[in-house]
Amino acid sequence: MSSITLKHVSKTYMSEGRRVEAVRDLSLDIKDGEFMCFLGPSGCGKTSTLRMIAGLEDISNGEIYSNDKLVNYLSPQERNVAMAFETYSLYTHLSVRDNILFPLRARRVAREEMQRRLATVVDMLDIGEILDRSPGNLSGGQQQRVSLGRAIIREPDVFLLDEPLSHLDVSQRIALRARIKRLHSDLKRTMVYVTHDQMEAISLADRIAVMRFAELQQVGTREELIDYPENLFVADFVGEPPMDFLKWEIAQKQGRMVVKSPVTNTELQVPESWRSHFLGLGMKSVILGIRPHDIHLVKEPGDSQLNGTVNVFEFLGETNYAHCSVGSDEVTVVVDTHTSLRRKEEVSLFIRPERMHIFDPKTERCISSVLKKREIS
Amino acid sequence: MSTVVFESVTKMYGQTPAVKDLSLEIKEAEFFVIVGPSGAGKTTTLKLTAGLLPLTSGKLYIGGRLANSLSPAQRNVAMTFESYALYPHMTVQDNIANPLHSPGMNLSESQIASRVHEIAEMLGMGQLLERYPRELSGGQKQRVALGRAMVRRPSIFLLDEPLSHVDAKVRQHMRIELNRLQKELKTTTIYVTHDYVEALSLGDRVGVLNHGELIQVGPPEEVYSRPLNEFVAKHLGQPEINLIDVIVTSRNGTVLLQGAKNPKLQFVLEGKRAQVVKEANCPNLRIGIRPHKITCAPVEAGALIGEVYVFEPAVISGQLMVDFGGYMLTVLTKASDRFRIGQKVGFEVSPNDVYLFDPQTGKNLEAAR
Amino acid sequence: MKHAKGEPLLLKIVLDALLVVMFLAILFPFIWIVLAAFKTEADILAWPPKFRFPPTLDHFRNILSGKTYELGKASLQSNIDIVRFFFNSLIVSCGSIIVSLLVGVPAAYAIARFKFRGRENIAFTLLSFRFAPALMVIIPLYIIFRKMGLNNTYIGLIWVYQLITLPMIVWILRGYIEDISPELEEACLIDGYSQWRTFWRITLPLARPGVVAAGLLAFIYAWNNFLFGLILGGSAVQPITLGALQFISTAYVRYGDIAATIVLAFLPALILSIYSQRHLVRGLSFGAVKA
């Protein structure tokens, strides 16, 4: 059982004569038994952070605590963490069984204990049939399961997973993702997971730490990130399809606050409770953000506020996306599987005001999230 | 004219066929997507079209001409590789300009420069022209590869898994961009991928390839909604379609299908559908149910009941795996629903949403032949 | 991974001291010869050995000007033209490299890219030439050379040096070319170029570091070679590695001149090695490890 605390952790290294900052001033609490996901684009610092937690890389600045014990100077073996790598890293000259038992043999665990743990792992990961095969004869998904088995059998305090699904094809990925989620629920250990795929983060994690350019952008549950993103980057990065952004303006109109297109007549009313705050800010240009599944097609033109034309209709099987032009802007709308639209078809759209997100174009911060959170508390 | 016609094309590697008796007609300006798992023969098909591999047998026509023995340079095709294959020792500008310097192009330096700039603008790469490939991100490299293909104004684009190594985020943006580009340029395109989402989204028509054989060809909606066999149904769809073995009991005008492992899972087919099953004359069938066609219902008598194995929430819909007495079914749920592991759930499926597959051949019993 | 505790200081000192001792032991012959080149004959032979002495450039002057001089009772005239030997070495070494590159680069390309029967056999046979000590074949070679009139000719030496340089170039370049993705060449073919043009435009520029590394390494080995020049060469084509032998005769051994000649002999190889360190390390490991 282990909680992990990072306090002002930074990592810099030299590359071709220049200082590169991989992680900057990262402070984060990972609770005991939590599934925490580091999410961000390539190069944002998430893998460096994971490797510092593992002890595979030095910490340039700051401290990492495990259960309130400082671990900066402990080697990976001393930290009792287990890691599953992007590339599985299985020992090709050993069978699956020997791969999994390897860490126990290295620690001279008793035979009965080894067999008992092996049986548990085999059951959890459903690898009974491949125990005697060698890694070269396994599919990617099977190799990853063996890699997980090797990590689990050690019964470590913390599991670290570095993009474990990135080299698998779609169906293997889905199957393994469900398995990892189930594992977490069965093992009840702290898991730290790194990925660039927001779908994995959303489906697996208790909380997600979004990173960009070596900095932590926001930490929260999936609901918090989706409904109350703190800035433009998080709002765009999390959620599929990505949030629609419109460069509009905000203004007072007949006693109400509206956001409107600078080009056409389209306007949407801002929730009444936000009016005074925006008046106080005295802003003009804003970025209006709406999640594609918060835009609804309506039958009665009277109910709608926006009119658009379909540019591209994506039929994707389980969901359909309609990419529409609304005035001078483009929005993506999620439509249900029964609806099929054609190019150039006219559509009427409706948005609930409280589902709007309003961003300050200069600071890129989300003003509406602050207001919404205030309203809840 | 820029059509591509495959006539019984086969490519063997020793005794193993990589492409088996492929016959296909790709129309002018069509965006044709070949989709299939790794090893299906997709890249081989593309390389045969490009002239990088010789055919073992069959005929290949490009633009109406027999192309079997033409070198790549003579075929006027352009290709992007899964690994981008950008020349590391040349700048972005030189990479894109490379086709234009080839013998036979006969363009002046200024013409070359202006075409390169035109393409760079179109792909939003104006500032990257002086950089080297190692300084670019995956998405940027992809665009350079595209630019190099487009600059020749070829009659055919061959795209080999262009989005597979790109971040999930960038992939979404690029899909739309590719769609728009192709419609603008109106170039015949053969696009190869293992990701069915790209296939459905981008293709005018989709061809499903497995072990070198073309299994089904058609517009995306048709291939998705009316799969010819189990393989196509499994490969197109995320999560994978649920497949359940059932026992057939024929009655007067109706047919009863019961789960082999759990008879509580049952469907009654009537009318034409019952007819089809009776004609097939199999004691067993395999039925397929798409995860988003299973709706959760309150736990009460009459509904099918199972226990939640794992629940993964997502933005638009959650993914639920339910242990239903021996069957593990995947269900796509509404975004607002939440489930706990071990919770009992009820669900229902309309018989109309059930696909009927022959248990031996995997063929869809209702597919038109 | 560093530990906060660090290694015990004593262990570190002992290990460092051992390293210094090893370093000195390996370099000692070089240091001695370089010193000797600047000492007078008397100082060279002095015992205990002198490390502080008045330096002299006489020996260098002697060998470079081809001067003859007397020593003691007998004075002998001989034409010892060290400068000419230097150029012989240059001609033979450069010549070997050029021939090896002309033959070896296409050979490496063929072995790397094309699948043909006996490919590995041919490649390994080529490598095996480096295993066999030249002494095994030198006598038959001498007889053959005499019969063919290749003794004491540049062509003869350049040809036989291929045993040293060609395997090196082929094996190092093979690794480099295999590392170049074939898709780069395929992309160029599609861009509209022929196989030949693609080789010049894409493969060669990308393999250039390998060519440089292999060429430098092979040059150093060719330059340092002693045996072939000794048996198969003659006064006309003697490389500088043999030049020092001239100063050993029945009447005298001119240690100083020998030392100066040796310094002149290894200087080019030394300079090249230091200059091309980066390339060499990469080149050496490429033959061994496949990415």
For the purposes of burial, counting CB atoms within 10 Å of the CB of C20, is it exposed (0-12), middle (13-18) or buried (19 or more)? exposed
> Do A173 and A261 have their domain in common?
no
Q: What is the mean pLDDT of residues A84-93?
A: 84
- A241/B contact by beta carbon, under 8 A: yes
What is the pLDDT at residue A314? Answer: 85
| Residue of chain B whose alpha carbon sits nearest to that of C202 | B87
> Do A120 and A191 have their domain in common?
yes
Domain housing C169? 82-286
Taking the C-alpha atoms of residue B38 and residue B47, their distance in angstroms, rounded to an integer, is: 15
CB B257 within 8 A of CB B267: yes
pLDDT averaged over every residue in chain B:
88
What is the pLDDT at residue C68? Answer: 56
Q: CB distance B148–C188 less than 8 Å? A: no
Is pLDDT above 80 for C80?
A: no
Q: How far is A73 from chain C (nearest CA, A)?
A: 6
State the total domains in chain A. 2
> Do C238 and C178 have their domain in common?
yes
- B90/A contact by beta carbon, under 8 A: no
Which of A255-264, B71-80, B88-97, C141-150 is least confident?
A: A255-264
> Do C231 and C204 have their domain in common?
yes
Q: Which of A16, A210, A290, A314 to substitute to test the interface with B, most B CBs within 10 Å?
A: A314
Which of A204, A236, A268 is a domain's end point? Answer: A236
> Do C26 and C111 have their domain in common?
no
Chain B neighbors (3+ CB pairs < 8 Å):
A, C
Q: Which of A35, A195, A316 to substitute to test the interface with B, most B CBs within 10 Å?
A: A316
Is pLDDT above 80 for C4?
A: no
Looking up tokens 């629940």, which residue turns up? B311
Q: What is the mean pLDDT of residues C214-241?
A: 88
Q: Which residues contact A239 (CB under 8 A, 6 or more apart)?
A: A198, A226, A291, B315
- A55/C contact by beta carbon, under 8 A: yes
Q: What angle do CA A132, A135, A136 make, to 5 degrees?
A: 120
Taking the C-alpha atoms of residue C249 and residue B357, their distance in angstroms, rounded to an integer, is: 98
Q: What is the mean pLDDT of residues A308-327?
A: 87
- B224/A contact by beta carbon, under 8 A: yes
Residues of chain B with pLDDT under 70: 301-303, 368-369
Taking the C-alpha atoms of residue A25 and residue A8, their distance in angstroms, rounded to an integer, is: 4
In a domain, C160, yes or no: yes
Which of A211, A236, A261 is a domain's end point? Answer: A236
CB A49 within 8 A of CB A23: yes
Count of C-beta atoms within a 10 Å radius of residue A26: 23
Most trustworthy range by pLDDT among A138-152, A296-310, B272-286, C194-208: C194-208
- B341/A contact by beta carbon, under 8 A: yes
> Do A159 and A19 have their domain in common?
yes
Is pLDDT above 50 for C2?
A: no
In a domain, C2, yes or no: no
- C190/B contact by beta carbon, under 8 A: yes
What is the pLDDT at residue B30? Answer: 94
What is the pLDDT at residue C62? Answer: 77
CB B156 within 8 A of CB B187: yes
CB B311 within 8 A of CB B340: yes
What is the pLDDT at residue A15? Answer: 75
What's A359's domain CATH number? 2.40.50.140
Considering CB atoms only, which of B292, B315, B319 is closest to A337?
Answer: B292
> Do A32 and A125 have their domain in common?
yes
Asked if the peptide bond before residue C48 counts as cis, ω within 30 degrees of 0, the response is yes
Which of A63-67, A165-169, B217-221 is least confident?
A: A165-169
- B146/C contact by beta carbon, under 8 A: no
Q: Which residues contact A275 (CB under 8 A, 6 or more apart)?
A: A256, A257
Torsion of CA C105, C108, C110, C112, to 10 degrees: -140
First to last CA, chain A: 32
What is the pLDDT at residue A360? Answer: 92
Residues 233..272 of A with a Cβ closer than 8 Å to C: which?
none
Is pLDDT above 90 for A205?
A: yes
Do β-strands B31-35 and B188-193 pair in parallel, antiparallel, or remain unpaired? parallel
> Do A223 and A292 have their domain in common?
no
Q: CB distance B72–C194 less than 8 Å? A: no
Amino acid identity at A65: Y
Q: Supply the pTM of this predicted model.
A: 0.81
Q: CB distance A75–C1 less than 8 Å? A: yes
DSSP 3-state of B269: strand
In a domain, C139, yes or no: yes
Taking the C-alpha atoms of residue C224 and residue C211, their distance in angstroms, rounded to an integer, is: 20
How many alpha carbons fall within 13 Å on the CB side of residue B37? 13
Chain C residues in contact with A63 (beta carbon < 8 A):
none
> Do A9 and A150 have their domain in common?
yes
- C204/B contact by beta carbon, under 8 A: no
In a domain, C77, yes or no: no
Q: Is the dihedral of CA A274, A280, A283, A284 positive or negative?
A: positive
Taking the C-alpha atoms of residue A136 and residue A91, their distance in angstroms, rounded to an integer, is: 10
Chain B residues in contact with A237 (beta carbon < 8 A):
169
> Do A56 and A193 have their domain in common?
yes
Is pLDDT above 50 for C72?
A: no
Q: Own/partner pairs for A332-337, CB < 8 Å, 24+ apart?
A: A332/A241, A332/A242, A332/A244, A332/A292, A333/A292, A333/A295, A333/A296, A333/A297, A334/A241, A334/A292, A334/A293, A334/A295, A334/B316, A335/A297, A337/B292
C82-135 confidence digits (pLDDT tens): 788 888 899 999 999 999 999 999 999 999 999 888 999 999 999 888 888 888
Q: CB distance B315–A337 less than 8 Å? A: no
What is the pLDDT at residue A52? Answer: 93
Is pLDDT above 70 for A1?
A: no
Residue A30: band (very low, low, confident or very high) from pLDDT cuts 50, 70, 90:
very high
Which of A218, A236, A254 is a domain's end point? Answer: A236
Looking up tokens 């070319």, which residue turns up? C177
Which of A285-289, B164-168, C139-143, C201-205 is least confident?
A: B164-168
In a domain, C133, yes or no: yes
Q: How far is C208 from chain B (nearest CA, A)?
A: 11
Is pLDDT above 80 for A113?
A: yes
What's A21's domain CATH number? 3.40.50.300
pLDDT averaged over every residue in chain C:
83
Q: CB distance B310–A334 less than 8 Å? A: no
Taking the C-alpha atoms of residue B313 and residue A224, their distance in angstroms, rounded to an integer, is: 13
In a domain, C3, yes or no: no
Q: Which of A73, A78, A79 to substitute to test the interface with C, most C CBs within 10 Å?
A: A73
State the total domains in chain C. 2
A293-316 confidence digits (pLDDT tens): 999 888 776 656 788 899 888 888
In a domain, C231, yes or no: yes
Q: CB distance A58–C4 less than 8 Å? A: no
> Do A217 and A271 have their domain in common?
no
Residue A38: band (very low, low, confident or very high) from pLDDT cuts 50, 70, 90:
very high
DSSP 3-state of C54: coil
| Residue of chain C whose alpha carbon sits nearest to that of A77 | C1
Helix, strand, coil % over all residues of chain B, rounded to 5: 30, 35, 35
> Do C28 and C148 have their domain in common?
no
Residues 151..180 of B with a Cβ closer than 8 Å to A: which?
167-169, 172-173, 175-176, 179-180
What is the pLDDT at residue A302? Answer: 63
What is the pLDDT at residue C81? Answer: 75
Residues 94..123 of A with a Cβ closer than 8 Å to C: which?
none
Count of C-beta atoms within a 10 Å radius of residue A347: 21
A240-249 confidence digits (pLDDT tens): 888 999 999 9
Residue C258: band (very low, low, confident or very high) from pLDDT cuts 50, 70, 90:
confident
What is the pLDDT at residue C5? Answer: 47
Chain C residues in contact with A75 (beta carbon < 8 A):
1, 3
Q: How far is C31 from chain B (nearest CA, A)?
A: 42
Q: Which residues contact B317 (CB under 8 A, 6 or more apart)?
A: A318, A319, B292, B332, B333, B334, B335
What is the pLDDT at residue A303? Answer: 57
Q: What is the mean pLDDT of residues C23-48?
A: 87
Taking the C-alpha atoms of residue A121 and residue C115, their distance in angstroms, rounded to an integer, is: 45
Domain housing A103? 4-236
- The domains located in chain B, with CATH, are 4-228 (3.40.50.300), 229-289+352-369 (2.40.50.100), 295-348 (2.40.50.140)
> Do C155 and C281 have their domain in common?
yes
Considering CB atoms only, which of B220, B291, B312 is closest to A177?
Answer: B312
Taking the C-alpha atoms of residue C228 and residue C232, their distance in angstroms, rounded to an integer, is: 5
- A78/C contact by beta carbon, under 8 A: no
In a domain, C110, yes or no: yes
> Do C50 and C143 have their domain in common?
no
- B340/A contact by beta carbon, under 8 A: no
> Do C126 and C46 have their domain in common?
no
Torsion of CA A347, A351, A357, A362, to 10 degrees: 40
> Do C168 and C255 have their domain in common?
yes
Taking the C-alpha atoms of residue C284 and residue C291, their distance in angstroms, rounded to an integer, is: 14
What is the pLDDT at residue C289? Answer: 37
Q: CB distance C3–A75 less than 8 Å? A: yes
Residue A28's closest CA among A231, A237, A220? A220
Residues 4..23 of B with a Cβ closer than 8 Å to C: which?
none
Chain A neighbors (3+ CB pairs < 8 Å):
B, C
Locate B158 and state its tokens.
Answer: 């061959």
Q: CB distance B83–C206 less than 8 Å? A: no
- B201/A contact by beta carbon, under 8 A: yes
Chain C residues in contact with A56 (beta carbon < 8 A):
1
